[in-house]
Amino acid sequence: MSPFLAEFVQLLLNGVMAGAILAVPALGLTAMFAVLRFPNFALASHATAGAFAGYVANVSFGLPLIPSLVFAFFFAGLLGLVSDEVVLKPFRAMGAITTAIGSIALTIAIENLIRFVFANELRGYDLPIARDMIVGGVRIGPQQMQNLAISVVIMGLVFAFLTFTRMGKAMRAVADNPMLADIKGINADTVARIVSFGGMGLAGLGGMLIGLDTSIDPLTGFRAMLSVFAAAVVGGLGSLPGAIVGALVVGIGEELCLLVLSPSYRSAVGFLAILLVLVLRPRGILGQRAY
Amino acid sequence: MTSLTRSISRRSALKAGSAALLTLAAPTLVRAQSASLKLGVLTPLTGAGGFDGPRMLKAMQAVAEEINGAGGLLGKKIDLVVEDDQTNPEAAVRAARKLIDVDRVPVIMGTWASAVTTAVAPVCWESKTFLTTVSGADSITLLPHQGYLIRTQPNNALQAAKHGEFLLGLGSKRVFIMSIQSPFAAPTQAKLKETVEKAGAAMAGALIYEKDKTTYRSEVDQVLRAKPDVVYVNGYAPDVSVILRDLYRAGFNGPRFAQSYSVTSKVLEALPPEVTEGVYTVAPSADIQSPAFALAAKRLKLEAPDSYETQATDWISLVSLAIAKAGQAEGTAIKDAVRKISQGSGEKVYTAVDGLKAIAAGKEINYEGASGPCDFNEIGDIIDCKFRFQIVEKGQFKFLKVA
């Protein structure tokens, strides 16, 4: 492979891996938006909470990777369920903007609660680190491939849930037309609880997936939040396949821009993508239909 | 019930009022009686600098006591007037105004945060008051301070030069530096390049990366394509720990170099030991081999005073010696005299008291401080300073040298 082609393939691969991990919390965000109709900024602290729950499972209880991820999902999901029920639900009657601002307050509160318990220092998961393999001039990390596979499986499970289960279909119905769903006897409260649990669970999973590759601290989720939002908006806020497409666009875009730009402009590309999409297709690449 | 409350509150108000009057009056009375020489101290006693400020104050008080015990300065006892800058520019400016306008101090010693120093410095030079600081931002000594400011903390350029010399000492021929986007990125990269190229080695490259990324794989690819033999990671703990992982995964086995504030003992705990094996770290250090350092340690009853305590020791020593040399306690006199006692071919002295004796005997002196040689260039930056180098072995720091 020529050096330029190798670099291109390498950046593409890095972008796919970064995008796949970004897609998990972006799915959670967009699912919650589809049903509850407000951007839930508390996603950031739930991602952090999931990362720390996974840390406790992995380091304190000595569980292997997959059970730790499951624990992260359930912990962040339950936290999301409780925080939505106690804090955000009363806000919803006041409109989407009020609820969104309430979710910012909530995320700051949870983030500081985590800081209170775990302090500010960096922590790492107790997992062995492996050197990358080089295939045809392209560097492939076994752990990144594993994380990619985990993300793909999670996405598959989410779509299976929406397609084949009663509750999944109910969620899509509420997202599509809440009034019609109500007439058909679908309990909107139950659907809201399920989506809060699932959405924040995905955020927690995403937080831990990000932490696997880096280290975690109370700001882990907050740091990833902008990219997650960019992904969801680019794909079309409220569209689940859109979240995945958006995450891949942002992930690959940020990497490929390195061919021509200095790394210090990487985030600018993410926002340029949002700007372009919103100008050309205000509803996002795949529009706003949930599924 | 109401009248009772009122009568008590009136009485207590009266008491409080008279107490306040007395408190206000008392220092004036004392001041009027004793012929003391007032020096201003403006350290952060609260806020982000609340850990270092009180210790710097103690170091200055210890030196003042020693001078007072040996007969004082210009025949007067030193009286430190202490204000808290709260690590807050606005509070600091108010406190500085009070020190200058009410207490009429010729010098303010102690600002810590760069933002605070940047706010206080104009107040000082406008009223011809001398200022000593530990703030590190390069921009501070570039302010039009007309000589009314010195700092004992190495600036970015001095740090980068020393880092470059260390990397050259490792036998590096191709150095790569990756810096986080920050005010120090460009000056550090420029000075490192200058140092490395002057010694006949080459820069393999330099890049500036964004903070808060979840992976730096592509940046690391860019580094490795340049085939460096050493990589200087010039960032903060969250990003440096990600980069060290990515460098390991990419199979880079050469030395890696970082500031010790970015590779802390917590980072070593968070990362697998094979990732941090052989990482070099550096931090500005007190001059631990200097006699002044040993004397400061003894004075403070500490085993090893840190960089801030030694710098504070040096400020009050330099200021006292400059006042003695000039024969008057005025800001302009201190400004004009400070380099006459801090550098040059005079007799080396390691404490303020020894220096004062030598000046009284009519000798030229060169104060060598606990934090370093305390020689200043024309804009008030120190010319030389010691650095502490460590290497990580099996997840633990191992002391290499102070040089």
- Quickly state the pLDDT bin for A271 (edges 50, 70, 90): confident
Kindly identify which residue of chain B lies nearest to residue A6, measuring between CA atoms: B221
Portion of chain B with pLDDT greater than 90, in percent: 75
Rounded CA-CA distance A278/A289 in Å is 16
Give the pLDDT band of residue B29 (cuts 50, 70, 90): very low
Q: Hey, are the CB atoms on A14 and B218 less than 8 Å from each other?
A: yes
Q: Which residue has the higher pLDDT, B277 or A271?
A: B277
Asked whether A22 and A247 are in contact (CB, 8 A), the reply is: yes
Which pLDDT belongs to residue A192? Answer: 92
A60 touches chain B (CB under 8 A): no
What is the pTM for the complete model shown?
0.79
Closest residue, chain B, to A21 (C-alpha) = B214
Give the span between the Cα atoms of B230 and B247, in whole angstroms: 11
Residue in B208, B212, B219 to test binding to A, most A beta-carbons within 10 Å: B212
Residue B83 in contact with partner chain A when CB distance is under 8 A: no
DSSP string, A151-194: HHHHHHHHHHHHHHSHHHHHHHHHHH-HHHHHHTT--HHHHHHH
Q: Residue B8 pLDDT more than 70?
A: no
Q: Do B215 and A264 touch (CB under 8 A)?
A: no
**Concatenated DSSP letters of B334-400:** HHHHHHHHHSSSSEEE-SHHHHHHHHHTT--EEE--SSS---B-TTS-BS--EEEEEEEETTEEEEE
What distance lies between CA B226 and its chain's CA centroid?
36
Tell me the CB-side half-sphere exposure of residue A197, using CA atoms within 13 A. Answer: 11
In sequence order, the 6+-apart residues with CB closer than 8 A to the CB of B141 are: B149, B151, B155, B379, B380, B381
Q: CA-CA distance, B115 to B129, in Å (whole number)?
A: 19
Integer Cα distance of B329 and B319 in angstroms: 9
Residue B182, chain A, CB below 8 Å: the answer is: no
pLDDT, one tens digit per residue, over B314-341 is 999 999 999 999 999 999 999 999 999 9
Of the two residues B52 and A102, the one the predictor is more confident about is: A102
Sign of CA dihedral A63, A68, A70, A71: positive
Q: Which residue has the tokens 């983030």?
A: A111
Give how far the C-alpha of residue B261 lies from the chain's centroid of Cα atoms, to the nearest Å: 15
Q: Which of B210, B225, B249 sits opposite A131 (nearest CB)?
A: B249
* Average pLDDT of span A200-229: 91
A11–B212 CB contact, under 8 Å: no
DSSP H or E segment with residue B151: strand B149-151
Each residue's pLDDT tens digit, A4-43: 888 899 999 999 999 999 999 999 999 999 999 999 999 9
Of B212, B269, B274, the CB nearest to A129: B274
Which residues pair with residue B96 across a beta bridge?
none
B281 CB within 8 Å of a chain A CB: no
Considering only the beta carbons, identify the residue of A18, A129, A264 that sits closest to B214. Answer: A18
Q: What is the mean pLDDT of residues B8-28?
A: 52
Using CA atoms, how far apart are residues A113 and B400, in angstroms rounded to an integer?
Answer: 40
Show Cβ contacts of residue A185 under 8 Å, excluding neighbours closer than 6 positions. Answer: none
The yes-or-no verdict on residue B33 having pLDDT over 60 is no
Is B238–A215 a contact, with Cβ atoms under 8 angstroms apart? yes
Tell me how far apart the alpha carbons of residues A176 and A290 are, in angstroms, rounded to a whole number: 7
At residue B179, what are phi and psi to the nearest 5 degrees? -115, 145
To the nearest 10°, the Cα dihedral for B133, B325, B147, B100?
60
Tell me how far CA of residue A49 lies from CA of A52, A153, B128, B315, in angstroms.
5, 22, 54, 47
* Bridge partners for B202 per DSSP: B174
A17 to chain B, closest Cα gap in Å: 10
Q: Residue A262: list chain B partners with CB under 8 A.
A: 207-208
A214 contact residues in B (CB cutoff 8 A): 214-215, 238, 241-242, 245
Please state the φ and ψ torsions of residue A231, each to the nearest 5 degrees: -60, -45
Beta carbons within 10 angstroms of residue B190's beta carbon = 14
Q: Give the mean model confidence (pLDDT) for residues A37-53.
A: 96
Q: Does A18 touch chain B (CB under 8 A)?
A: yes
Coil, helix or strand at residue A129: coil
In angstroms, the CA B251 to CA A129 distance is 12
CA angle in degrees (0–180, nearest 5) for B137-B147-B378: 75
Q: Nearest Cβ partner of A215 from B249, B270, B274?
A: B270
Amino acid making up residue B12: S
Please answer yes or no on whether B181 and A264 come within 8 Å at the CB atom. yes
Q: Does A213 touch chain B (CB under 8 A)?
A: yes
* Nearest chain A CA: its distance from B169 CA (Å): 29
Closest residue in B to A255 (Cα–Cα): B218
Identify the closest residue of chain A to B209 by CA–CA distance.
A264
Comparing B6-15, B86-95, B190-199, B234-243, the range with the smallest average pLDDT is B6-15
Helices A266-280 and A240-256: crossing angle in degrees, nearest 10, is 130
Confidence of residue A159 (pLDDT cuts 50, 70, 90): very high
pLDDT bucket at B14, cuts 50 / 70 / 90: low
- Cβ pair A129:B251 closer than 8 A: no
pLDDT at position A1 over 90 = no
Residue A107 has pLDDT above 60, yes or no: yes
Instruction: Please tell me if residue B308 touches chain A, with a CB cutoff of 8 Å.
Output: no
- Closest alpha carbon to B341 in B45, A145, B327, B398: B327
Instruction: Give the length of chain B.
Output: 403
How high is the ipTM of this complex?
Answer: 0.85
Average pLDDT over residues A49-62: 96
Question: What average pLDDT does this structure show over B141-145?
Answer: 95
Amino acid residing at A14: N
Q: Is B181 on the interface with A (CB under 8 A)?
A: yes
> What is the rounded distance in angstroms from the CA atom of residue B38 to the CA atom of residue B106?
8
Q: What whole-number distance in Å separates Cα of residue A86 and Cα of residue A92?
A: 12
Extract the tokens encoding A184: 């058909």
In 3D space, the residue among B74, B73, B127, B59 whose CA is nearest the CA of residue B97 turns out to be B127
Region B132-148: what's the mean pLDDT? 92
Contacts of residue B214 in chain A, CB cutoff 8 Å?
A: 18, 21, 210, 213-214, 223-224, 227
CB-CB under 8 Å, A129 with B245: yes
Give the number of C-alpha atoms closer than 13 A to the C-alpha of residue A249, restricted to the C-beta side. Answer: 26
Out of A210, A213, A267, closest to residue B210 by CB: A267
Stretch B176-182: mean pLDDT, rounded? Answer: 92
- CA A130 from centroid of its chain's CA atoms: 25
User: For B29, left (φ over 0), alpha (ψ -120 to 50), or beta?
Assistant: alpha
Identify the DSSP state of B103.
Answer: S
- Helices in chain A by DSSP H: which ranges? 3-36, 43-55, 65-83, 89-92, 96-118, 142-164, 166-176, 178-183, 188-213, 220-235, 240-256, 266-280
Distance CA A251, CA A11 (A): 10
The confidence score (pLDDT) of residue B91 equals 95
B68: tokens are 């007072």
Q: Does B222 touch chain A (CB under 8 A)?
A: yes
B187–chain A nearest CA distance, Å: 16
Q: How many CB pairs under 8 A join A and B?
A: 97
- The confidence score (pLDDT) of residue B31 equals 44
Backbone angles phi, psi at B142, to 5 degrees: -85, -5
**Which among B245, B293, B275, B308 is positioned nearest to B394, based on CA atoms?**
B275
State chain B's mean pLDDT as an integer.
90
Determine whether the interchain pair B218/A255 forms a contact, defined as Cβ–Cβ distance below 8 Å.
yes
Closest CB to A121: pick one of B217, B245, B266: B266
B30 to chain A, closest Cα gap in Å: 47
A2 touches chain B (CB under 8 A): no
User: What is the average pLDDT across A89-111?
Assistant: 93
Question: Quick check: B186 contacting A, CB < 8 Å?
Answer: no
Contacts of A11 in chain B (CB under 8 A): 218, 221
| pLDDT per residue as tens digits for the range B200-252 | 999 999 999 988 787 898 999 999 999 999 999 999 888 899 999 999 999 99
Query: How many Cβ atoms are within 10 Å of A80's Cβ, its own excluded?
Result: 31
Contact B369/B255 with Cβ under 8 angstroms? no
pLDDT at B282 (0 to 100): 94
Q: To probe the interface with B, which of A55, A131, A214, A219 has the most B CB atoms within 10 Å?
A: A214
Distance CA B66, CA B64 (A): 5
Query: What is the structure's pLDDT at A144?
Result: 87
pLDDT tens, residue by residue, B360-385: 999 999 999 999 999 999 999 999 99
**Confidence band of B5 (pLDDT split at 50, 70, 90):** very low
Residue keyed to tokens 């002057």: B198
Does the beta carbon of A122 lie under 8 angstroms from any beta carbon of chain B? Answer: yes
Q: How many CB atoms lie within 10 A of CB A27?
A: 31
Q: Does A71 score more than 50 pLDDT?
A: yes
B183-213, pLDDT tens digit by residue? 788 889 999 999 999 999 999 999 999 887 8
A132 CB neighbours in chain B (<8 A) are 249-251
